[in-house]
Structure formats: structure tokens, C-alpha cells
Amino acid sequence: MAARWHYIAATGLDFGYRHCAVPENWIFTAAELRGEPGEPAAIQRRMSEINSAREESQPLRTRTGGSTFANPDDPRTEGRKAWQLIDAVGGRGLAVGGAKVSEKHCNFLLNTGTATAADLEALGEEARRRVFEKFGVRLQWEIRRIGVPQRGPA
């Protein structure tokens, strides 16, 4: 299939919370970005603040795919984020095989060193099941899962 190129101005992207208005199958291969000049010390201070906040709240430098579920936009959650819903259903520290829900931030699934993809997926599905059972809300995977589930020996 021949590649098709598209050029889009930022105004045409309709950026939102983990969303933009291009088809899901698009792959961005280049971007032209423009920044605003600023005072280097102020920029460095702001970057340090952001890094410190992330360090305090997220399991950095661990084996994780990052944020696992999108925050739901559903009145039944009463404004709670995905991690708060997972915490509310006893998910903090929950484990399947070598996969574990982070005790620092419940929207991160950790590979403790021996997790398989099946362990991580089963753990995520268990968290989703519990949240649905208690709140009636289906958490949406934010991690793009690819591949074919292992079916065992032929």
C-alpha cells in the first residue's frame, strides 16, 4: 500500500485529554513545533517541579507500560480518576503471576520481573471487572494491546 502524507495545522488536531481528531490508524512521522522563548532558570525550575511531582506520585524507574486505563467520563464515578476507582475496589497491590498493581499509583501495572503479557492483561481485566461490578463503569484500556493471546502447546 502506498503511503499517504497529510499536513495538518495544530488548529485542525482538536487536542483534548489524551485525544486528537485524526484517525486512530495514523502514524505521525514528523512534526514542526514552535516554542516561546523564556528565561532558562525559570524553565529549569518548572521542569524540576514537574519531575518532582511525578516522582512523588508515580512508580518511575519500574517496569511498567505507563498509565493503564483512561480516566472515565461518567457521572457514576463522581469525578474519580481511574486510579481512585481501582483503589476503591481493593486493587492496590493486587497481583496476578508476576504482575502487580502499583501501591504508589493504582493506574500503573508493574512487571515484578517475571510477568508475562498474559499476567498483565489478566490483572488489568481483574481491575476492570472489579470497577464494573462496584460502579457499573467499564474502564477503557489506555495501553494499546497488540498480538495474539497464547493458546498453550499445540
Catalytic residue chosen out of the listed positions 4, 18, 61, 151: 18
Instruction: Return the residue matching grid coordinates 496476578.
Output: 96
Q: Is 67 a catalytic residue?
A: yes
- How many Å apart are CA 55 and CA 48, to the nearest integer? 10
Catalytic residue chosen out of the listed positions 67, 102, 121, 128: 67
Q: Is 57 a catalytic residue?
A: no
- How many Å apart are CA 136 and CA 125, to the nearest integer? 14
Element of type H or E holding 52? helix 40-57
* Stated length of the chain: 154
Q: Is 102 a catalytic residue?
A: no
Catalytic residue chosen out of the listed positions 34, 39, 133, 142: 142
Q: Which residues are catalytic?
A: 18, 67, 142
